[in-house]
Amino acid sequence: MLRLLGLPLALSLLPLAASGVLANAIEWDGTNAVELEVVIAPGEKAAVCSTLARQQQVEWSFKGSKAVDFDIHYGQGASATYALRRFRMSSLQGRFDPPANQTYCWTWSNERSTPTTINLTLSPHH
């Protein structure tokens, strides 16, 4: 389940990864602030991705109903490069400063046996 919290912005669903692992994949255009609520099924992942220019800073934060594994990465599969990885976090925030023009994904993994809700805020830093 994905719920956009009352914001008119350009979000579009991305095709699911070839492995079928991503339960929710959303693309953010990187220009407007967004607030999202994503419910992640047990054993699944969810991702919010955006193509960002080098040093197009993004303020981000999330709060989960349960602890999850979290990362910000670009690339896919074995070739993924991680800008940030944290394990068993129920909330986190920061400012992301992309090192290169890439599509970056904020990704959460729910390894628990019950669904987890993530509330995410992304906004361009001016």
Rounded Cα distance, 55 and 11, in Å: 22
CATH of residue 111's domain is: 2.60.120.680
- Across-strand partners of 57? none
Has residue 4 got a pLDDT over 50?
Answer: no
Residue 13: which domain range?
Answer: 2-124
Sign of CA dihedral 44, 48, 54, 55: negative
Has residue 19 got a pLDDT over 60?
Answer: no
Is residue 66 a contact partner of residue 116, using CB atoms and an 8 Å limit?
A: yes
* Model confidence, pTM: 0.79
pLDDT at 27: 75
Q: How many domains is the chain built from?
A: 1
pLDDT at 106: 93
What's the DSSP call for residue 103? E
110 φψ region: left (φ > 0), alpha (ψ -120 to 50), beta (else) = beta
